[in-house]
Amino acid sequence: VRFPEDLEDDSTTFNPEYSHQVFGDDEVAFGYKGLKILLYYIAGNLSTFFRVEYTSKVNEKFDCVEADDVESKIREIIPPGFCTNTDDFVSLLEKEVNFKPFGMLLHTYSIHNEEAGEDITYQIYKADMTCPGFREYHERLQTFLMWFIETASFIDVDDERWNYFLVFEKYNKDGATLFATVGYMTVYNYYVYPDKTRPRVSQMLILPPFQGEGHGAQLLETVHRYYMSSPTVLDITAEDPSENYVKLRDFVLVKLCQDLLCFSPGKLMQGFSQEMVTEAQQKLKINKQHTRRVYEILRLRATNMGDAEQSRSYRLDVKRRLIGPYKKKQRELAKMRRCLRPEEMTNQLNQIDLNMQREQLEESFQQLVSDYRRVLERLAQA
């Protein structure tokens, strides 16, 4: 909500992707007809207005069953101090002009908005719990995780090893410049013996109204560039990354790596090398596993897949990596042969059909190439 009229504007509404963490695996609130659970957030500081509407509700006295206590379930997620009536919320909205982003400005960028017909400015900040008001703001911000990240959990904000990176949109209201929350990322700094840290991306969320505009890539690249300048950082990883995050990371890392000398077309065609691992880690804080994916994407760009020899060479190179888990299974089988009875061994072998393995390997390769092509297409448009 930026203006009072947004309260009645359905176009500013977005629905949760997940609600099982609040309402159980069936995502059901029992005992209501026409139930609406409404959460409004002021665009900048995320002050919250909560109300529940329904046309009818079961009655324990007459229906002998009790409706779910929807309100208490929501109260477990949103922090205290939220509004329960429109007037209080609108009066808070009038004070929004005083809200300013927390922490240190890291990056400013613009994106052209077709609908508005103009460039809109965005800024990325790094904050921590010492920033006045940030702890309370973060409590409100993290409520979105429950609706948009499948296995979300709230973090321990008293642990000083957390870093917070925030994206804001700058917009004008009655001649004043205001800020709207776009998304954020939390990063935990793990200790690596003897004197390094390994930042691990824990949570990343761009709010639905801003998704698909490139903010995720801007945020991840800014965070990488922030840590790249630190001599104590070994490399940057992610905790249990989603499929979408992996695709985003592929794009950002390829964009960062493509100008390194070790990734020149001539060197790419010679195969994956230790030089690539070393340079990517030292200059860009990218670990070996991620560097390998970057190499495969950039080699695909340098490869003429219409040339039979080049195509075959690329396919074998990628499949040699993909076959690792299958080879591990073969080694396990060799151990089994030494300790299992013949009938037990036959049972194990039946589970591992070599033709099926080849099919799975080819399927994995084709899927990977398809994903890599999408990264290259996006890179060409960047």
For the chain, domain boundaries: 4-96, 99-300, 308-343+351-381
The three-state secondary structure class of 286 is coil
90 in Cβ contact with 4 (< 8 Å): yes
Catalytic: 239? yes
**Exactly one of 27, 71, 118, 239 is catalytic; which is it?**
239
Report residue 125 CA to chain centroid gap. 17
Which two structure tokens, joined as six digits, stand for 30? 């029992």
One DSSP character per residue, 210-258 reads GTTSSHHHHHHHHHHHHHHT-TTB---EESS--HHHHHHHHHHHHHHHT
> Domain 99-300 is classified in which CATH homologous superfamily?
Gcn5-related N-acetyltransferase (GNAT) (3.40.630.30)
CATH of 4-96, one of 2.40.10.10, 3.90.360.10, 3.40.50.150, 3.30.1280.10: 3.90.360.10
Q: Provide the 10 A C-beta neighbour count for residue 343.
A: 7
Per-residue pLDDT of the chain (382 residues; tens, 9 = 90+): 999 999 999 888 999 999 998 999 999 999 999 999 999 999 999 999 999 999 998 886 666 788 999 999 999 999 999 999 999 999 999 999 999 999 999 999 999 988 878 999 999 999 999 999 999 999 999 999 999 998 888 999 999 999 999 999 999 998 999 999 999 999 999 999 999 999 999 999 999 999 999 999 999 999 999 999 999 999 999 999 999 999 999 999 999 999 999 999 999 999 999 999 999 999 999 999 999 999 999 999 999 999 999 999 999 999 999 987 665 655 665 666 667 666 665 555 555 566 777 888 899 999 999 999 999 999 999 8
pTM: 0.90
237 in Cβ contact with 364 (< 8 Å): no
- How far is it, in rounded angstroms, from Cα 125 to Cα 169? 11
CA dihedral 288, 165, 381, 245 (to 10 degrees): 50
